[in-house]
Amino acid sequence: MSAIPGSTMNAVVLNQLGAPLSHERVEVPGPGAHQVLVRVEACGLCGIDVGVATGGWPQGLRLPRVLGHETVGRVAALGSGVGDLHEGERVVLPRLAWACGRCEHCLGGFEARCGQRLHAGVDVDGGFADYQLAEAGFALAVPRGVDPLDAACLSCAGAIAYRAVREAGVGPGDVTAVWGVGGIGHLAVQYARMAGASVVAVDCTPDKLAMARDLGARDVVLDTTEDPVEAVARHGGAHQVIFAAPRVEAMSDALRALRRGGRLVVVAVPDAGALELPVADLVRDGISVLGADGANRLDVTRALALHAAGHTRVVHQARSISQVDEAIVELGEHRAPARLVFEMR
């Protein structure tokens, strides 16, 4: 199981912005102090990977880079000074690969906003490879009994959905609309329901709405045949909207679906575009618009713990890493049937 230093591994590398991904053999990295080397079992595909791979997410990207940031795997080698992990232990490596621990965001309990943070697949190499290096403190143990592919999805999609539901302030008796029930949205439906809300799911795909119903949504709205604002109004309007759809043009509907004092929490990275804010309405009705910018380690461990306790279902489709290029096109065109997860072997 241990990697031989100096040996090579398969990796999916972006060498140049806009260039096709390159399937290469690269050297297996050795863990430095307080780092672990993880043998990747699987890594999920996220909208951010699509942005990076297609050149639409160049902020801070250092090339060449191994993509992927929803990794699950087993610890293969420990660097010096790592005390709380052991070889063979299953961990997830979330998108947040490192945070400083000292800035106001870290100290304030929101390390995902750290000004010096490092993201896997952008600032440091990610999980579309046989091995991934990680800071030991950011390799999070997977509870016993949790399926590794589920764990991969929960490390990003689950954690950000959980964070969004927390940010939205969802509580018992609220009406929460979830816009877009894909990889993030289908988990947001479950967390909102767990928080005691009546969930209204809005999507343009009947299959995804059937899944949302199955996962506990009280009402579902196909927004290609029905006005979603009117549909949500039948429930008195939404206290919160979790916006997890990739279509920015749907966001103004989401805003209008809120009742007074409502919150729109945006989680997906929408297509480039801007939301026109009706300022007078916003002020008159006390509306908030929030961006859920990232998940903290605690969000990841909570998502894993809730899953281990049987409270969530993760809907995903497994693919081989050799299919990554097709999958990126599929997700980029919003055709992916569920969260896509690549198995490394």
Tokens, residue 284: 């008159």
Q: How far is the CB of 314 from Zn ion (least distance, A)?
A: 14
Which one of 108-116, 166-174, 178-186, 326-334 is the stretch in contact with Zn ion (CB under 5 A)? 108-116
Q: Where are the beta strands (DSSP E) in the chain?
A: 8-14, 22-27, 35-44, 65-66, 71-78, 90-93, 96-98, 118-119, 131-135, 140-141, 175-179, 198-203, 219-222, 238-243, 258-266, 288-291, 316-320, 339-343
Question: For Zn ion, which residue of 100, 141, 210, 298 counts as binding (CB under 5 A)?
Answer: 100
Strand 65-66 relative to strand 35-44, pairing: unpaired
Residues 299 to 328 in contact with Zn ion, rule: CB under 5 A: none
Q: How far is the CB of 278 from Zn ion (least distance, A)?
A: 31
Count interface residues toward Zn ion (CB under 5 A). 7
> For the stretch 27-46, what's the b/e string if a residue is b when 16 or more beta carbons lie within 10 angstroms of its beta carbon?
ebbebeeebbbbbbbbbbbb
C-beta closer to Zn ion: residue 8 or 116: 116
C-beta closer to Zn ion: residue 200 or 266: 266
Residue 151's H or E segment, with its range, is helix 148-153
Distance CA 201, CA 343 (A): 30
C-beta closer to Zn ion: residue 29 or 158: 158
In this structure, are residues 131 and 31 in contact, taking their beta carbons and an 8 Å threshold?
Answer: no
Which one of 71-79, 114-122, 201-209, 263-271 is the stretch in contact with Zn ion (CB under 5 A)? 114-122
Residues 200 to 259 in contact with Zn ion, rule: CB under 5 A: none
In this structure, are residues 189 and 168 in contact, taking their beta carbons and an 8 Å threshold?
Answer: no
C-beta closer to Zn ion: residue 118 or 210: 118
C-beta closer to Zn ion: residue 36 or 50: 50
Distance CA 121, CA 53 (A): 10
Tokens, residue 117: 């943070």
* Region at 239 (left for phi over 0; alpha for psi -120 to 50; beta for the rest): alpha
C-beta closer to Zn ion: residue 49 or 174: 49
Which one of 112-120, 121-129, 194-202, 211-219 is the stretch in contact with Zn ion (CB under 5 A)? 112-120
Residue in the block written with tokens 């479950």: 190
Q: How far is the CB of 28 from Zn ion (least distance, A)?
A: 24
Q: Which amino acid makes up residue 80?
A: S
* Region at 18 (left for phi over 0; alpha for psi -120 to 50; beta for the rest): left
Contact between 103 and Zn ion by CB under 5 A: the answer reads yes
Which one of 42-50, 241-249, 251-259, 273-281 is the stretch in contact with Zn ion (CB under 5 A)? 42-50
Question: For Zn ion, which residue of 46, 165, 184, 244 counts as binding (CB under 5 A)?
Answer: 46
Which one of 22-30, 151-159, 197-205, 256-264 is the stretch in contact with Zn ion (CB under 5 A)? 151-159
Question: For Zn ion, which residue of 28, 42, 106, 178 counts as binding (CB under 5 A)?
Answer: 106
Q: How far is the CB of 289 from Zn ion (least distance, A)?
A: 21
* Main-chain phi, psi angles of 51, to 5 degrees: -60, -45
Gyration radius of the chain over CA positions: 20
C-beta closer to Zn ion: residue 45 or 220: 45
**Which of the 8 DSSP states describes residue 124?**
B
Question: For Zn ion, which residue of 156, 170, 187, 195 counts as binding (CB under 5 A)?
Answer: 156
C-beta closer to Zn ion: residue 293 or 325: 293
* Main-chain phi, psi angles of 137, to 5 degrees: -70, -10
Q: How far is the CB of 105 from Zn ion (least distance, A)?
A: 5
Contact between 114 and Zn ion by CB under 5 A: the answer reads yes
C-beta closer to Zn ion: residue 103 or 194: 103
Residues at the contact surface with Zn ion, assessed by CB under 5 A: 46, 99-100, 103, 106, 114, 156
